[in-house]
Amino acid sequence: MQTTQAVAIAQRQTRARFGIDKVFLILVLIYLTVPLISTLVFGFTGSHGIDFSTLGQIFSDKDFAQTLSLSLELALASTLLSVALITPTIYWVQLRLPGVRPLLDILSLIPFAAPAIVMAFGLVEVYSGSNMLINVLSLGLVPLLSNPPFNIVNTPPLLVCAYVVIALPFVYRSIDASLRSINTRVLTEASYSLGCGWWRTFLTVILPNIWPGIISAALLTFSTVMGEFTLSSLFSIYTFPIYLNQTGQEDPHKAASLSILSFILTLICVLAIFLLVRRRPGQQGEIELTAAK
């Protein structure tokens, strides 16, 4: 009696695996791919069937290569900076200063309360005006950074810093969640008892265990920066999305092919990062271990 019931439940669950969630997943995938396919078709069909002439025009435009490489550099710099700045900090706080967590939580929430457009407005006001309150609060760093020789007003370095802030909630959430899903304390203790120092523990024990979280954090930062329009337009820095907007407003077919191009380029970059990460020895087992927790 007991066994047949268990079997029945097991069968029901196996059947549920092909149930409503799969239907919704397929619907969502359709919703997510239809605009991409339509854009592809719209961009590459002229009055006489398939027409790749818009691509040729785009590739021969020197603004295209210039803005694209600038955006790639900004994206790479922001990704590296955010992961390098945030990961050790969260680990450090979990291990040594657990009481500081609320402060970190609040700092990671501020970008929600002040989105890109507000942040851009604020950054322009901070670094282009001279405000006594700000000068004092920043310990004299704002006057240093907003005047020569380190004038960072409306420059790519300031843009990178702003991007790191915009991506902070996602990076923090993702890395914090994966750090909490492993037993940091026990792992560190074990590593210390085997004679490892803090950095070695961090790099060889903690990092491999939270790699999935870092991957998703890096992916989010990277793709955010590649498509970010608000900050660069308010800072008047000529990045790829700005070029896209300018060109696209003139010619809808060019706009479509540029959208597809930007999607494909982000896709390639993201897959490249993904493959690079996956090739690390012993990686597979650790991802599964973390996922199984």
Partner 1 sequence: MQASADKVTAPSAPAKPTSRWSRPWGYTLTSWLGLVPFLLFCLLFEVLPVVVIIQNSLVDSQSGALTLNNYQRVISQTGNLHAFQNSILLSLVTALSGGIFGFLAAYGVYNLRANWMRNFLVSFSSIAANFAGVPLAFAFISTLGVTGFVTVLLHTWLHVDLYNLGFNLYNFWGLALTYTYFQIPLMILVTLPALSGLRPVWREAAANLGASQWTYWRRVALPILFPSIIAAMMLLFANSFGAFATAYALAQGNINLVTILISFAVNGNVSIDPGLGNALSGGMIIVLLLAVSLYSIMLRRISTWQGR
191 binds partner 1 (CB under 8 A): no
Q: Which of 57, 66, 181, 283 binds partner 1 (CB under 8 A)?
A: 181
The piece of 36-44, 48-56, 62-70, 203-211 that touches partner 1 (CB under 8 A) is: 36-44
Rounded to a whole number of angstroms, the minimum distance from the CB of residue 182 to partner 1 is 9
Q: Which of 105, 130, 147, 150 binds partner 1 (CB under 8 A)?
A: 105
In the bound state with partner 1, the residue whose beta carbon lies nearer, of 126 and 214, is 126
Residue 239 structure tokens: 């990045």
User: Coil, helix or strand for 49?
Assistant: strand
> Mask of contacts with partner 1, 192-221, x by CB under 8 A?
x-----------------------x--xx-
- Exposed/middle/buried for 103, CB within 10 Å: 0-12, 13-18, 19+? exposed
Rounded to a whole number of angstroms, the minimum distance from the CB of residue 249 to partner 1 is 8
Rounded to a whole number of angstroms, the minimum distance from the CB of residue 154 to partner 1 is 12
Beta strands 49-50 and 45-46, pairing class: antiparallel
Rounded to a whole number of angstroms, the minimum distance from the CB of residue 3 to partner 1 is 12
50 binds partner 1 (CB under 8 A): no
H runs (alpha helix) in 182-210: 184-193, 198-201, 207-209
In the bound state with partner 1, the residue whose beta carbon lies nearer, of 208 and 273, is 273
Q: Which of 59, 69, 122, 194 binds partner 1 (CB under 8 A)?
A: 122
Q: Which of 1, 4, 50, 113 binds partner 1 (CB under 8 A)?
A: 113
252 binds partner 1 (CB under 8 A): yes
As a whole number of angstroms, the distance between CA 240 and CA 79 comes to: 17
180 binds partner 1 (CB under 8 A): yes
The piece of 55-63, 65-73, 123-131, 202-210 that touches partner 1 (CB under 8 A) is: 123-131
Beta bridge partners of 49: 46
- Cβ distance 229 to 16 under 8 Å? no
58 binds partner 1 (CB under 8 A): no
Q: Rounded to an integer, what is the distance from CA 109 to the centroid of its chain?
A: 16
In the bound state with partner 1, the residue whose beta carbon lies nearer, of 29 and 65, is 29
Rounded to a whole number of angstroms, the minimum distance from the CB of residue 41 to partner 1 is 5
Q: Establish how many alpha carbons lie within 13 A of residue 83's alpha carbon, considering only the half-sphere containing its beta carbon.
A: 19
The piece of 4-12, 56-64, 66-74, 201-209 that touches partner 1 (CB under 8 A) is: 4-12
